[in-house]
Amino acid sequence: MKTIRKAVLPVAGFGTRILPATKSIPKEMLPVVDRPALQYVVDEATEAGIEHIVFVTGRNKGAIEDYFDRAYELEASLHLKQKTELLAELESKLPLPGSASFVRQQAPLGLGHAIWCAREVIGDEPFAVLLPDVLIQAEPGCLKQMVNCYTKTGGNVIAVDAVPGDQTDKYGIITPKSQNGNIYEMSAMVEKPAPADAPSNLKITGRYILQPEIFKFLEQQKPGAGNEIQLTDAMAALMETSPFFALQYEGQDYDLQNRIFRSRLRLCHDP
């Protein structure tokens, strides 16, 4: 069983659900407390043992590359002012030389297409996918929990968590086949099923460990919902030949575009 060394972070989206904030700033770079949202996701990947991160970017995403590069003028200023703690914190967030790649998704053709754009960097080994729109508060981190699960199960692993039964029509829901503690073997995935038709109340949460065979299906995948190449369609095809497991992780997820920033906006406008 190969170690999970690489992760793909798709960061090419426009962030239209939180315009106008994202008109000039990538949504992934919007601050959550004292750092960009994207930093939390990178920290989660690093904690899980990821050695190389592939950022799939698009137009007007240069701020992401700049953030993960040296800022010589700022570092020189902090050094002169003897702000050593700040300087050390900045340096601690820099990726090691050669441990980050940036590939361009030249057209907004969907999440599946974004993952496919990373194929040459990933090569023939299993890899993780972390959606930067979703922050997960967990100890240990969600991806770390998934890697531990993967060492037991192999195959492909998806993070899931339970939602109220009357809210299944808002999420992708898995169909469990068998259960061992908080690990489920899956037989299918259903997109936004009505509560009466939902096979479970376990929603897909935005973290994946996938085998490299997924690229073959993504390359052949026809546009699906929204006329885009959907990752879920390719996973459904891969599920016919490769085992899929769902880990009900311990933690809490936050959708950046629907919960954190909109809640903050409401607080700002409260009298």
pTM listed for this prediction = 0.88
CATH 3.90.550.10 fits 6-269, yes or no: yes
pLDDT of 115-137, one tens digit each?
999 999 999 999 999 999 899 99
User: Can you give the residue ranges of every domain in the chain?
Assistant: 6-269
pLDDT of 50-90, one tens digit each?
999 999 998 777 888 888 888 888 888 888 888 888 888 88
Whether 242 contacts 156, CB under 8 Å: yes
Select from 50, 223, 222, 60 the least CA-distant residue to 121. 50
Name 184's bridge partners. Answer: 179, 246
